[in-house]
Each structure stands twice: as structure tokens, then as C-alpha cells.
Amino acid sequence: MLFHEYTHAVVHSLTPRCPSWIHEGLAEHFSTHYPKKIGQVIPLNYLEKSFSRLRGENVRIAYRESYSAVSYLIEKYGLFRIKELFLSLSKGTDINQAFRDAFSITYNEFISVWGKN
């Protein structure tokens, strides 16, 4: 739990403008390990705001899905690119441009294709 909450504090210190799925996914990445990754069960754009409105099984799915998406980004692009995304967002850059700068794909493109096999 300490790593999870510390990750939230670090992310918030870099930028308060982070989609919840990235925030929670990174915190999960540093605090737990799920044996199997999942795809996009709940649309990522639905997970941009607080998970508090989710109920029951959807809460567990949201955390696992967020973990899977962030783990994918880290494995494909490296943790440094996540930091670049946060720094870009902290400067007020639009999420689409910040995502493109960090990962060479816009945010909208990523959420429309990631995990939809």
C-alpha cells in the first residue's frame, strides 16, 4: 500500500492533469503484480475520472485494466516516456499532444485501439 500511495503523491507532484487510469495503473504497477494482463473491458475514456463511481466487479476490472495499459506503455516505450507525458501535461499541453510527444500516438488513437483484440 505504501508504494501505491507514494506513486500517487509523486504523480500529483508532477501534474494534477493525469487521467485516473494512468494514475491508478502506475500506482498498481509499482505496488502489485497481476499474473495476467487484460485488455480494454471498460473503455479507457470512461476511466479518465475517479473510479469512485464504479461499482462491484467494475472496480476490480478498472484497476487491473489500468495496470495492464500502463504496463504495456512502460514495456513498449519505457518508464522515462511516462515521466515525459507527465511533464508535458504539467506545462498545460493538451492530452492528445502530450501523448503523441511521449509515445508517437495520440491519446485518442491509443484508447481507440489498445486492448481491443
Q: For the chain, what are the domain ranges?
A: 2-113
pLDDT of residue 4: 78
pLDDT higher than threshold 90 for residue 43: yes
How far is the C-alpha of 29 from the C-alpha of 67, rounded, in Å?
6
pLDDT higher than threshold 90 for residue 26: yes
How far is the C-alpha of 66 from the C-alpha of 74, rounded, in Å?
12
pLDDT higher than threshold 90 for residue 86: yes
Instruction: Band the pLDDT of 94: cuts 50, 70, 90.
Output: very high
